Amino acid sequence: MAEKKASDQNGATGSVETAARGDAALRRDLLRQMLLIRRFEERCAEAYAIGKIGGFCHLYIGQEGVGVGAISTLRDDDYVITSYREHGQAIARGMAPRAVMAELFGRVDGCSKGKGGSMHLFDRNLNFLGGHGIVGAHLPIATGVGFAIKYRGGDQVCVCFFGEAAVNNGAFHEALNMAALWKLPVIYLIENNRYGMGTALERASAINDIAERACSYDMPNEVVDGQDVLAVRAATMRALQRARSDSIPTLLEVRTYRFMGHSMSDAVSGTYRTKEELEEHMKRDPIVVLRLMMEQGDGWTEADTSKLDDEVKAVVQDAWDFADASPEPPIEALYEDLLVDTTS
Amino acid sequence: MPTITYRDALNHALREEMQRDDRVFLMGEEVGVYQGAYKVSKGMLQEFGEMRVVDTPITELGFAGVGVGAAMVGLRPIIEFMTWNFALLALDQVVNSAAKMLYMSGGQYPMAMVFRGPNGAALQLSAQHSQAWESWLAHIPGLKVVAPGTPYDAKGLLKSAIRDDNPVIVLEGEMLYNTKGDVPDSEEVLVPLGKAEVKREGSDVSLITWGKMVLVAQQAAEQLAKENISAEIVDLRTLRPMDVEAIAASVSKTNRAVVVEEGWAVAGVGAHVADFVQRECFDDLDAPVLRVHQEDVPMPYAKNLERAAKPDAKKTVAAAKKVLYLDT
């Protein structure tokens, strides 16, 4: 896709690529966010194993570059909506690791007061419209957010994350068709981690280059390397520009890989993918890709990484301690927030 | 007092509420250019424009989800289903998104929205187009469900539904759209959600009903009156939350109850009413609670079979006599 001029988040003009690359401080922040999510998710696995987290728990390890890259380009008044593999996106959007961990522990200080759990993280103050648990269901919801933006004449954008398996679902078709038909400012961002649970993309989709699905809706689309956080930023910025200035939706196919099982009950490798395949993909760890770039260009050192790692580990430990100390919801909460008792 | 149709009552409710609050919009199949599949939205595209009266592709799941998304960020959508039969495709959005969003977000996302359209059978539309879905919808915590049986209630309940900050299901009746009734135009018509109304006072038997079956109950009550049986009609109007106090008040007076519902019996709303009555009105009852309902088959096409399958006044009269032990 042709490079277009765009304003970066600091207001300076330059090529999208230049803005996406940012400066050393921005790259350090991206590395920090990805590392924080990585360490957070590792502790989630540990907490799950000892029963502090229950239910379904889907980890983001390996995919950090996607959420961090895309969300880092957004304004505070933009919207993010996503699926059930959303701990990383919530943190990237600015949700406190304490509030996320407390939610996973089912405690009252969780972002959804312990009512939602791993799959239903919400934060109204951050325009984080939730983790949604039914594959594909939040795609039409994102279309509706885009409709509301247009209805009000705003210039916000809604970014909708979902796995590649959702493209085979009717909701995907219905949502994208209406967004393109009505020209709504929505970025549909496929996190193509190659497996819908245990079913490989090529065993589920009649076409393997799923960005091409956008052609059915005459919608701009792009294939992006999801292990390169800066590439994700650049592609998202191009899509944002189309959405903000011309209210045109985009389908981004961001190619990534899940380093863990589908959920905590699924082996890391297993019946549906080989250890060799996993190891091959793990060579392109998004954290390592950025770190190497920084070591080459920013004078970043091993000692810097080590220091940053210690810092984020402390943040995660603090989140764990906070969640552990937070009380369970009071039993009266059972019937709270079922209905609003006002009318407008 | 002006006499208007149920269709016009709904139209007036929609227009008054859209004039009152510019966050309210109407979306669905054929609501705009076509003027509504049943002409409920007649004139509205011209009055409000295409941003507020939105024709959609035939994509129930999709546009129900669009409504959910718009409600999440503060608009107040009215999602019209051409019929509730088609809304089965959208139930994931109604049940998993609209009904649960407030609860699973810990109170952060109220869903002020309405899903509405005709429910139940019309005439000879056969199996896929003749179904009453209230038990499916009333089953779900987080929803409110109303089923107006008269033009006045249609207007008043729809207006209250649009103003309510929760997802409200409005079950209309295709066979009711042309029915007429008194609806004042000099005052604001608002019927509170969750309040039943005694549509006819009586002392011998309570006919507990809602929606289109209010008409059936009225026909039955007329016939019973000719035999000196005094039937009271309790029109629930709202099925969730249900006005159980009104049911108890009536049963304590008549000591006998018949539930008249359009849908199938198994796991129907009437089963819930009967459960309440046996538990809370046990000492008042002089007979078991009976239910009149659709026969336990898909709706057949042939006129005679369709008639046989539907609940009607004759079956209601028979049930009333049975609880009065007059059926021998």
A10 occurs within a structural domain: no
- Locate all alpha helices (DSSP H) within B239-312, ordered by sequence: 244-254, 269-280, 303-309
């279309």: which residue's tokens? A143
* CB atoms inside a 10 Å sphere around CB B115: 28
**Strand, coil or helix: B120:** strand
Mutate to test the interface with B, among A335, A339, A340 (most CBs of B within 10 A): A339
**Burial classification of residue A309, based on how many CB atoms lie within 10 Å of its CB (0-12 exposed, 13-18 middle, 19 or more buried):** middle
- Residue B76's nearest CA partner among B28, B110, B105, B41 is B110
Query: What is the pLDDT of chain B when averaged over all its residues?
Result: 97
pLDDT for A267: 80
Q: How far apart are CA A96 and CA B14, in angstroms?
A: 42
pLDDT for A188: 98
Question: Does residue B60 carry a catalytic annotation?
Answer: yes
Instruction: Please indicate whether, in this complex, the C-beta atoms of B69 and A144 are within 8 angstroms of each other.
Output: yes
B184's CB contacts (< 8 A; 6+ apart) are B1, B2
Cα torsion B172, B177, B181, B182: sign: positive
Using CA atoms, how far residue A308 sits from A36, A40, A85, A301, in Å, is 9, 14, 25, 11
* Residues 72-111 (A) with a CB less than 8 A from some CB of B: 79, 81, 110-111
Q: Does B96 touch chain A (CB under 8 A)?
A: yes
A337 occurs within a structural domain: no
Burial call B147-186: b when 16+ CB within 10 Å, e when fewer: bbbbbbbbbbbbbbbbbbbbbbbbbbbbebbebebebeee
User: What CATH number does residue A34 fall under?
Assistant: 3.40.50.970
* Residues 260-299 (B) with a CB less than 8 A from some CB of A: none
B97's CB contacts (< 8 A; 6+ apart) are A132, A137, A138, A141, B65, B68, B111
* CB atoms inside a 10 Å sphere around CB A250: 26
What is the DSSP code (8-state) at residue B80? E
What are the structural domains of chain B? 3-182 (3.40.50.970), 197-322 (3.40.50.920)
Among A115, A140, A342, select the one facing B61 at the smallest CB separation: A140
Q: How far apart are CA B20 and CA B225, in angstroms?
A: 44
Question: Mean pLDDT throughout B284-289?
Answer: 98
| Contact criterion met (CB below 8 Å) for B107 and A338 | no
B328 falls in which pLDDT band (50, 70, 90)? low
A6 occurs within a structural domain: no
Instruction: Please indicate whether, in this complex, the C-beta atoms of B66 and A112 are within 8 angstroms of each other.
Output: no
> pLDDT by residue (tens digit) across B256-273?
999 999 999 999 999 999
Q: Does B69 touch chain A (CB under 8 A)?
A: yes
> pLDDT by residue (tens digit) across B104-137?
999 999 999 999 999 999 999 999 999 999 999 9
**Burial classification of residue B322, based on how many CB atoms lie within 10 Å of its CB (0-12 exposed, 13-18 middle, 19 or more buried):** middle
Domain holding A167, by residue range, is: 16-326
Determine the number of helices (DSSP H) and then strands (DSSP E) in chain B: 12, 14
ipTM above 0.95, yes or no: yes
Question: Does residue B129 carry a catalytic annotation?
Answer: yes
pLDDT for A14: 64
Q: How far apart are CA A231 and CA A224, in angstroms?
A: 7
| Contact criterion met (CB below 8 Å) for B158 and B11 | no
pLDDT for B1: 84
Q: Does B194 touch chain A (CB under 8 A)?
A: no
A5 occurs within a structural domain: no
Mutate to test the interface with A, among B60, B103, B157 (most CBs of A within 10 A): B103
Nearest-CA distance A230 → chain B (Å): 30
Nearest-CA distance A213 → chain B (Å): 17
Instruction: Please indicate whether, in this complex, the C-beta atoms of B70 and A140 are within 8 angstroms of each other.
Output: no
A292's CB contacts (< 8 A; 6+ apart) are none
Q: What is the DSSP string of A20-86?
A: HH--HHHHHHHHHHHHHHHHHHHHHHHHHHTTSS-S-----TT-HHHHHHHHTT--TTSEEEE-S--
Diameter of chain A by CA atoms? Answer: 59
Q: Which residues of chain A have pLDDT under 70?
A: 1-14
Q: What is the DSSP string of A268-295?
A: SS-SSS-HHHHHHHHTT-HHHHHHHHHH
Active-site annotation holder among B12, B17, B29, B60: B60
**∠ CA B225-B231-B237, rounded to 5°:** 130
Among B75, B104, B110, select the one facing A112 at the smallest CB separation: B104
Burial call B300-320: b when 16+ CB within 10 Å, e when fewer: beeeeebeebbbbbebbbbbb
Q: How far apart are CA B76 and CA B78, in angstroms?
A: 7
Chain A residue numbers touching B165 (CB-CB < 8 A): 340, 342-344
Among A134, A137, A336, select the one facing B107 at the smallest CB separation: A336
Q: Does A201 touch chain B (CB under 8 A)?
A: no
| Contact criterion met (CB below 8 Å) for B250 and B200 | no
pLDDT for A8: 40
Q: How far apart are CA B254 and CA B33, in angstroms?
A: 51
A114 occurs within a structural domain: yes
pLDDT for B93: 98
The total number of residues shown for chain A amounts to 344
Chain A residue numbers touching B25 (CB-CB < 8 A): 151
* Residue B103 predicted with pLDDT over 60: yes
Q: How far apart are CA A264 and CA A43, in angstroms?
A: 12
- Residue A38's nearest CA partner among A81, A84, A91, A104 is A91
Q: Does B32 touch chain A (CB under 8 A)?
A: no
Nearest-CA distance B107 → chain A (Å): 5
Nearest-CA distance B144 → chain A (Å): 9
**∠ CA A202-A205-A208, rounded to 5°:** 60
**∠ CA A247-A252-A254, rounded to 5°:** 155
Chain B residue numbers touching A178 (CB-CB < 8 A): 56-57, 59, 62-63, 66
Question: What tokens were used for B41?
Answer: 């939205």
Q: Which residue of A has its CA nearest to B192?
A: A343
Question: Mean pLDDT throughout B235-259?
Answer: 98
A183 occurs within a structural domain: yes
> pLDDT by residue (tens digit) across B143-185?
999 999 999 999 999 999 999 999 999 999 999 999 999 999 9
**Burial classification of residue A42, based on how many CB atoms lie within 10 Å of its CB (0-12 exposed, 13-18 middle, 19 or more buried):** middle
Determine the number of helices (DSSP H) and then strands (DSSP E) in chain A: 12, 10
pLDDT for A11: 43
Mutate to test the interface with A, among B21, B50, B66, B89 (most CBs of A within 10 A): B66
A46 occurs within a structural domain: yes
Q: Tell how strand B113-118 and strand B53-55 pair up.
A: unpaired
Q: Does B190 touch chain A (CB under 8 A)?
A: no
Nearest-CA distance B74 → chain A (Å): 8
| Contact criterion met (CB below 8 Å) for A31 and A294 | yes
Question: Number of structural domains, chain A?
Answer: 1
Q: Does A62 touch chain B (CB under 8 A)?
A: no
A23 occurs within a structural domain: yes
Chain B residue numbers touching A129 (CB-CB < 8 A): 69, 72-73, 109
């006002």: which residue's tokens? A342
